[in-house]
């Protein structure tokens, strides 16, 4: 490594840390300060560390609302992802393996899902008709509908790399189509499944807009909704608000530490081929 | 013939049904509802009145104009900065993989959390940003309080949060360019700048298409970041279509809200579809 590269690297590191790390340091420090100190908004060192006190206060706020929120968000994320993986893999499998005159039409529908902003008020009307409005299972189905296009495209391109001989061998052996899929193909989809799970769980866990519309009311709060509600409630207790931000940041941070490579792969998938 | 038995279409049914009922049906129904006066009590056909209202009311027009500004600005900034950062972070810099990680992390963090934190960081008097600028002798502006600046301040935070994804897509794109081109250019005596504009930019085009399209679609639809930071304010100065849709919904003007949805849909389609078409045609020319 040349001297110039080292100097450039140090400069880039300093600027990078300044721009991308300071905001998180600010969040962390504000979260452990007293209310009075936090309202100064500075980067100063806290005169006393109130990590535990603030943590307990945030969790107890509004009758343990945050715990309910974490529970609901977990149910929605896990539920939606389980359904997404199975249904998207099945769709990707059939449209990849079975070229037909319908495929153009099906692709148009898939691309529509990536592009078209959901029509919120008509969706609410429909959810009410189906008695799914303000319910967790309604929210799960909404997340499946909105995440399907992206997941199908990922599965389809991965399935293209699995040789057809495999399915044909199983079919000749007398396996039924669903057996071929669940016993032969699905186990081979592990890498792309991990990618779909990671990318979608970040998306669904961080989703704010859809719960705001489809899941109003304090029984169904999600993590992001709670944070948003605390913004007005804790306007004079910045320390508690930022403790909440810290708590919301931890799940993606943990995932990021363990699955950095897969997340990056999933989010940049298809970029190179265009 | 055989494929119809081995790969039955009912495999599409479970996901397809959810998609049809919860996404396609509301999208189609939206066209009808946008032509109605629709509130809690009644649905009455009023033709194109909702759309006329969007063209007449100054605050609704602001929403449309701001949507375009926000989408185009963030998309251009993310692709330009993303490409420059990608080139920098593949040049064998000290600590480049650490920097990649650093820049990418905000992509995964909750938008609401980022928005709330930056609303405080951008506080005109006590905020970290203006205090930091004052060390360099710069008097920082009133970021989110100034009506002329609020939208751009939010855009700045959106770029901060999203540039990491653009950078990673560009890094993946750069990896596909053969080093032979640079080798040949070096032998011919090309400068670094020439290599960047004559080799890197044209050959990284597929990544550019992805970055521009993705960030345009996301940018035109963005709601979370604006709602967490300004709620469309001060006044209506940073309102975008997505926040107008929410405000009209809250106010009980469901028909007007849905018309806003259709306009947003049309805006995304009219900007993104021709752009993709143009991008793909140019690719054939090369």
Mean pLDDT for chain B overall: 88
CA B39 to chain CA centroid, Å, is: 31
C-beta of residue A120 within 8 angstroms of C-beta of residue B261: yes
Q: Of all residues in chain A, what percent are helix, strand and coil, respectively (each to 5)?
A: 75, 0, 25
What pLDDT, on the 0 to 100 scale, is given for residue B40? Answer: 67
- Average pLDDT estimate for B39-57: 80
Could you read off the pLDDT tens digit of each residue along chain A, which spans 274 residues? 677 778 888 888 888 888 999 999 999 998 888 878 878 887 888 888 888 888 888 888 888 888 999 999 999 999 999 999 999 999 999 998 888 888 888 888 998 998 899 999 999 999 998 999 999 999 999 999 999 999 999 899 889 888 888 888 888 888 888 888 998 899 999 988 988 898 899 899 999 999 999 999 888 899 999 999 888 888 788 889 999 999 999 888 888 888 888 778 777 765 544 3
Share of chain B above pLDDT 70, in %: 96
What pLDDT, on the 0 to 100 scale, is given for residue A126? Answer: 92
The number of residues in chain A equals 274
Query: How close does chain A come to B56, measured CA to CA in Å?
Result: 22
Q: Which domains does chain A have, with CATH numbers?
A: 63-267 (1.10.3720.10)
SS3 string of A24-38? HHHHHHHHCCCHHHH
Of A2-11, A184-193, B34-43, B71-80, the range with the highest mean pLDDT is B71-80
Q: A207 in helix, strand or coil? A: coil
Query: How close does chain A come to B168, measured CA to CA in Å?
Result: 7
| Residue B32, domain member (yes or no) | no
Size of interface A-B (CB pairs under 8 A): 266
- Average pLDDT estimate for B78-95: 90
What pLDDT, on the 0 to 100 scale, is given for residue B206? Answer: 86
| Residue B269, domain member (yes or no) | yes
Cβ distance of B93 and A12 shorter than 8 Å:
yes
Asked whether this complex has an ipTM greater than 0.90, the answer is no
pLDDT in tens, B195-213: 999 999 999 988 898 899 9
C-beta of residue A21 within 8 angstroms of C-beta of residue A28: no
What pLDDT, on the 0 to 100 scale, is given for residue B128? Answer: 87
Q: CA geometry: angle at A234 spanning A230 and A239, to 5°? A: 110
Instruction: Please give the residue range of the domain that contains residue B66.
Output: 57-114+146-285
Instruction: Give yes or no for residue B109 having a pLDDT over 70.
Output: yes
Instruction: Give yes or no for residue B122 having a pLDDT over 80.
Output: yes
Instruction: Give yes or no for residue B284 having a pLDDT over 60.
Output: no
Q: Which long-range contacts (CB under 8 A, 24 or more apart) does B8-14 make?
A: B8/A94, B8/A177, B9/A94, B11/A90, B11/A91, B11/A93, B11/A94, B11/A177, B11/A181, B12/A90, B12/A91, B12/A94, B12/A95, B12/A106, B14/A83, B14/A86, B14/A87, B14/A90
Q: What is the CATH number of the domain that holds B223?
A: 1.10.3720.10
**pLDDT band, residue B1 (cuts 50/70/90):** very low
Cβ distance of B23 and A113 shorter than 8 Å:
yes
What pLDDT, on the 0 to 100 scale, is given for residue A273? Answer: 43
| Residue B1, domain member (yes or no) | no
Q: Which long-range contacts (CB under 8 A, 24 or more apart) does B39-44 make?
A: B39/B252, B39/B253, B39/B254, B39/B255, B40/B252, B43/B255
Cβ distance of A94 and B7 shorter than 8 Å:
yes
Separation of alpha carbons B89 and B220, rounded Å: 29
| Residue B190, domain member (yes or no) | yes
| Residue B130, domain member (yes or no) | no
Query: How close does chain B come to A19, measured CA to CA in Å?
Result: 9
- Residue B165: both structure tokens together: 């994804």
User: pTM of the prediction?
Assistant: 0.90
C-beta of residue B210 within 8 angstroms of C-beta of residue B169: yes
| Residue B181, domain member (yes or no) | yes
| Residue B98, domain member (yes or no) | yes
Separation of alpha carbons B82 and B44, rounded Å: 48
Cβ distance of A271 and B26 shorter than 8 Å:
no
Separation of alpha carbons A228 and B171, rounded Å: 34
The number of residues in chain B equals 286
pLDDT in tens, B151-169: 999 999 999 999 999 999 9
Chain B residues with CB-CB distance to A249 below 8 A? 109-110, 113
- A8 to chain B: closest CA residue: B93
Closest CA to B118 of B146, B82, B147, B144: B144
CA B21 to chain CA centroid, Å, is: 27
Q: How many CB atoms lie within 10 A of CB A79?
A: 18
Q: A173 in helix, strand or coil? A: coil
Per DSSP, A217 falls in state S
| Residue B266, domain member (yes or no) | yes
- Average pLDDT estimate for B76-82: 96
- Residue B127: both structure tokens together: 């905020």
C-beta of residue A246 within 8 angstroms of C-beta of residue A31: yes
Separation of alpha carbons B153 and B148, rounded Å: 10
Chain A residues with CB-CB distance to B206 below 8 A? 271-274
- Average pLDDT estimate for B16-20: 93
What pLDDT, on the 0 to 100 scale, is given for residue B282? Answer: 63
pLDDT in tens, B200-253: 999 998 889 889 999 999 999 999 999 999 998 798 899 999 999 999 899 888
* Residue of B1, B4, B113 to mutate when probing chain A, most A C-beta within 10 A: B113
For chain B, how many structural domains are there in total? Answer: 1
B33 and A CB contact within 8 Å = yes
């Amino acid at each position: 490594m040349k001297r110039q590269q080292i100097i450039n690297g140090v400069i880039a590191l300093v600027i990078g840390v300044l721009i991308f790390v300071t905001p998180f340091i600010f969040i962390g420090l504000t979260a452990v300060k007293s209310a009075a100190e936090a309202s100064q908004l500075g980067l100063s060192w806290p005169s006393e560390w109130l990590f535990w006190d603030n943590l307990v206060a945030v969790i107890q706020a509004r009758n343990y609302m945050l715990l309910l929120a974490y529970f609901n968000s977990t149910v929605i994320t896990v539920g939606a992802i389980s359904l997404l993986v199975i249904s998207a893999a099945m769709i990707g499998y059939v449209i990849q393996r079975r070229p037909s005159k319908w495929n153009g039409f099906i692709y148009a529908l898939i691309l529509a899902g990536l592009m078209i902003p959901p029509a919120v008020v008509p969706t609410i009307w429909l959810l009410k008709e189906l008695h799914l409005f303000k319910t967790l299972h309604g929210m799960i189905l909404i997340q499946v509908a909105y995440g399907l296009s992206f997941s199908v495209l990922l599965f389809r391109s991965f399935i293209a790399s699995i040789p057809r001989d495999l399915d044909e061998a199983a079919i000749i052996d007398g396996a039924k189509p669903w057996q071929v899929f669940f016993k032969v193909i699905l186990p081979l989809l592990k890498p792309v499944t991990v990618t779909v799970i990671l990318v979608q769980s970040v998306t669904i866990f961080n989703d704010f807009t859809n719960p705001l519309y489809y899941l109003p009311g304090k029984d169904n709060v999600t993590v992001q909704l709670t944070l948003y509600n605390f913004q007005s409630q804790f306007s004079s207790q910045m320390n508690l608000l930022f403790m909440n931000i810290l708590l919301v940041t931890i799940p993606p941070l943990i995932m990021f530490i363990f699955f950095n490579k897969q997340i990056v792969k999933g989010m940049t998938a298809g970029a190179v081929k265009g | 013939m055989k494929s119809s038995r081995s790969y039955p279409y009912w495999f599409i049914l479970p996901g397809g049904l959810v998609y049809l009922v919860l996404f396609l049906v509301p999208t189609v129904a939206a066209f009808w509802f946008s032509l109605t006066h629709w509130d809690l009590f009644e649905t009455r056909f009023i033709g194109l009145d909702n759309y006329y209202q969007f063209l007449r009311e100054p605050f609704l027009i602001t929403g449309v104009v701001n949507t375009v500004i926000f989408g185009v600005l963030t998309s251009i900034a993310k692709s330009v900065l993303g490409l420059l950062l990608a080139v920098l972070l593949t040049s064998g810099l000290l600590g480049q993989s650490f920097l990649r990680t650093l820049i990418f992390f905000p992509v995964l963090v909750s938008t609401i959390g980022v928005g709330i934190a930056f609303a405080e960081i951008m506080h005109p008097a006590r905020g970290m940003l203006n205090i930091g600028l004052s060390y360099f002798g710069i008097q920082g502006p009133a970021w989110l309080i100034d009506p002329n600046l609020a939208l751009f301040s939010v855009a700045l935070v959106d770029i901060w949060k999203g540039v990491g994804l653009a950078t990673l897509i560009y890094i993946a794109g750069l990896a596909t360019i053969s080093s032979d081109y640079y080798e040949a250019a070096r032998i011919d005596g090309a400068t670094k700048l020439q290599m960047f504009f004559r080799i890197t930019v044209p050959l990284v085009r597929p990544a550019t298409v992805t970055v521009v399209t993705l960030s345009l679609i996301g940018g035109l639809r963005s709601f979370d970041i604006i709602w967490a930071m300004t709620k469309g304010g001060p006044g209506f100065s940073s309102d975008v279509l997505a926040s107008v849709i929410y405000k009209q919904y809250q106010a009980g003007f469901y028909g007007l809200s849905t018309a806003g949805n259709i306009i947003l849909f049309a805006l995304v389609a009219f900007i993104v579809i021709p752009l993709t078409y143009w991008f793909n045609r140019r690719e054939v020319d090369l």
